[in-house]
Amino acid sequence: MNRKNFINTVAAASAVSALGARAAGHAPKSEFKISLAQWSIRNLHRGKEPGADLLDPLDFAKYAKNTCGIDGIEYVNSFYFGKEGDATYFAELKKRAEGEGVKSLLIMCDGCGRVGDPKEASRIETVEKHKPWMAAAAQLGCHSIRVNAGSTGSFEEQQKLAADGLAKLADAAKPYGLNVIVENHGGLSSNGAWLAGVMKMVDLPTVGTLPDFGNFKIDRKTGEEYDRYLGMKELMPFAKGVSAKSHAFDAEGNETKSDYFRIMKIVADSGYRGYVGVEWEGSKPGATEGILLTKALIERAVAEL
């Protein structure tokens, strides 16, 4: 099946699924919307997607809307390194998103230091490194920046350090009208109980989580992994966004490691209503196919709520 036929088939199947759900009296929850995490198209931006042209990061919104039928986007700062502080560039990025009728939701910030660094001077420096991205997020009309709660030390020590760093970030983000949200993203941040504890320590309305369906690996070397369903339950009370991570699909269109139907019930039961972000991290199929499969699976899971 060629790419065009594949896309048409997935779109048709998704529409039939939604109509069937309505006919059965289980209409999809209208409060849920689907967004696209820019990491899903990393290979398109890097020119490493077989058979596809290089995609300019300025055209992220156009791709999301016209190729994937998605009208909410989540930026990744690494695709805009070197543009920090360039208000003209981000004005153009905003113009293009608005021109497509696409809503900018957040910027995922990596490479800005450790929020929970043991040295206070380093935590302060980390805040400074995030400020240009706060300015960009505010200019784009985003509601949040996503940060990483990296640290070292004991379980409790890292909680205290991460909480301190997040409080500092929240204070810096206040003039921009932004939330600061933490993803379970490796190390103790992938331990749901640990990160939920950090949220309770910070106890600020502008600090929350971005629970990721599949990022519960605590130690890549040992393979230690936290229970993803327990982790989602622990992190959802603080969620200001949700990331639907996907790596591979079976013949029925289900993700091979995460039960989306079970997870979306956890999401819904928490009271969260809002965007669920597609984050395709697999290698096969390609970016567009992986995104559309993830989108269709989310729609099926929401339709059964």
pTM surpassing 0.75?
yes
pLDDT digits (tens, 9 = 90+) for 217-236: 999 899 999 999 999 999 99
Q: How far is CA 21 from CA 8, 251, 272, in A?
A: 20, 21, 21
Segments making up each domain of the chain, as ranges: 39-303
Correct CATH for 39-303 of 3.90.1150.10, 3.40.50.300, 3.40.50.10320, 3.20.20.150 = 3.20.20.150
Pairing mode, if any, of strands 33-37 and 72-76?
Answer: parallel
Mean pLDDT value of segment 14-36: 58
CA distance 50 to 212: 27
CA distance 203 to 17: 41
Residue 213: CA atoms inside 13 Å, Cβ hemisphere, count?
A: 27
Beta strands (DSSP E) in the chain are 33-37, 72-76, 103-108, 144-147, 179-183, 207-210, 217-219, 224-225, 242-246, 275-280
- Cα-trace Rg, the chain: 19
Residue 21 has a pLDDT of: 42
pLDDT digits (tens, 9 = 90+) for 249-280: 999 999 999 999 999 999 999 999 999 999 99
Q: With a cut of 80, say whether residue 28 has pLDDT above it.
A: no
Q: Which residue has the tokens 């039939």?
A: 16
pLDDT digits (tens, 9 = 90+) for 48-94: 999 999 999 999 999 999 999 999 999 999 999 999 999 999 999 99
Residue 29 has a pLDDT of: 57
Percent of the chain surpassing pLDDT 90: 89
